[in-house]
Chain A
Amino acid sequence: MQPLIATRPSRGTPTKSARPEPAKTPEQSAQEKRANLISRAVANVQANMNTGKGGAKPQPDGERVKADPAPSRAAYRMQRVMLTPAYRLTIRVIFPFLIALVVATVYLSDEERRDNLLLTFNDVRNQIETRPEFMVKLMAVDGASDETEADIREVAQIDFPISTFDLDLDALRETIQGLPAVGHASARIRQQGVLEIDVVERDPALLWRSRDGIRVLDKTGIEIAELDTRAARPDLPVVAGFGANDRTEEALRLIRIASPFADRLRGLERIGNRRWDVVLHPDMRIMLPDEQPELALERAIALHEAQDVLNRDVAALDLRLAARPTIRMNAPALERWRQIKDVYLGAGN
Chain B
Amino acid sequence: MTMLYETQRAMRNMRKAALQRGVVAVLDVGSSKIACLVLRIDQSGVHYQGDSAGSLAGQVGFRVIGAATTRSRGVNFGEIDAMPEAERAIRTAVQAAQKMANIRVDHVIACFSGAEPRSYGLAGQVEVEGQAVTEQDIARVLAACDVPDYGAGREVLHAQPVNFALDHRSGLSDPRGQIGHTLSTDLHMLTVDATAIQNLAYCLKRCDLELAGVASSSYVTGISSLVEDEQELGAAVIDMGGTTTGISIFMKKHMIYADTVRMGGDHVTSDISMALQIPASHAERIKTFYGGVVATGRDDLERIELKCETGDWNHDRREVSVAELIGIMRPRVEEILEEVRYRLDAAGFDHLPSQQIVLTGGASQIPGLDGLASRILGQRVRLGRPLRVHGLPQAATGPGFASSVGMCLFAARPQDEWWDFEVPVDRYPTKSLRRAVRWFKDNW
Q: Which residues of A contact B (CB under 8 A)?
A: 1-2, 4-5, 8, 10-11, 14-15, 17-18, 20, 32, 36, 39-40, 43, 46-48, 50-51, 54-55, 57-63, 65, 68-71, 73, 75-77, 79-80, 83-84
Contact A17 B267 (CB under 8 A): no
- Closest partner residue, chain A, to B293 (CB atom): A18
Considering the chains assembled together, what is the distance between the CA atoms of A197 and B92 in angstroms? 75
**Nearest CB of A to B433, in Å:** 37
Pick the contact of B334 from A5, A17, A58 — CB < 8 Å? A17
Q: Across the A-B interface, give the 10 residue pairs with the lowest CB-CB distance, nearest first.
A: A14-B327, A70-B88, A83-B104, A55-B73, A60-B309, A63-B281, A10-B331, A17-B331, A70-B92, A76-B91
* Alpha-carbon separation in the docked complex, A61 to B330 (Å): 29
Q: A69 touching B70 by the CB < 8 A rule?
A: yes
Are A79 and B76 in contact, with the CB atoms below 8 A? no
A83 touches which of B77, B102, B262, B277 (Cβ 8 Å): B102
Closest B-chain residue to A80, C-beta based?
B104
Other A-B pairs, 8, CB within 8 Å; known A47-B243, A65-B281: A5-B275, A51-B82, A57-B281, A60-B307, A60-B308, A62-B282, A63-B282, A80-B208
- B331 adjacent to A40 (CB under 8 Å): no
Residue of B nearest to A52 (CB): B82
Which of A48, A51, A59, A73 lies at the interface centre, i.e. has the most chain B CB atoms within 10 A of its CB? Answer: A51
- A55 closest partner in B (C-beta): B73
Q: In the bound complex, what is the Cα–Cα distance between A254 and B102 (angstroms)?
A: 84
Q: Check A80–B98 contact: CB distance below 8 A.
A: yes
Cβ–Cβ < 8 Å partners of B104 in chain A: 80, 83-84
Give the residues in chain B near A4, CB-CB below 8 Å.
Answer: 274
Q: Which of B74, B95, B263 contacts A79 (CB 8 A)?
A: B95
Which A residues are CB-close (under 8 A) to B279? 57-60, 63
Query: Which of the residues B85, B102, B274 comes within 8 Å of A54, measured between beta carbons?
Result: B85
Contact of A57 among B277, B280, B334 (CB under 8 A): B280
Of A50, A70, A84, most buried by chain B (CB within 10 Å of CB) is A70
* Given A11-B271, A68-B88, A18:B281 Cβ within 8 A: no
Report which of B282, B307, B309, B327 forms a contact with A15, defined as CB distance below 8 A: B327
Interface contact A14-B92, CB-CB below 8 Å: no
Q: Which of B76, B267, B331 has the most CB of A within 10 A?
A: B331
A48 CA / B243 CA spacing, docked (Å): 12
* Chain A min CB distance to B207 (Å): 7
Q: Give residues 313-362 of B contacting A (CB, 8 Å).
A: 324, 326-328, 330-332, 334-335, 338-339
Q: How far is the CB of A255 from chain B (nearest CB, A)?
A: 83
Q: Do the beta carbons of B274 and A71 come within 8 Å of each other?
A: no
B285–A46 CB distance below 8 A: no
Closest-CB distance, B418 to chain A (whole angstroms): 33
Q: Could you say which residues of chain B place their CB within 8 Å of the CB of A15?
A: 295, 327
- What are the interface flags for B109-126 relative to A under an 8 Å C-beta threshold, 1 for contact and 0 otherwise? 000000000000000000
- Asked if B331 contacts A76 (CB within 8 A), the reply is no
* Chain A residues closer than 8 Å to B208, beta-carbon distance: 76-77, 80
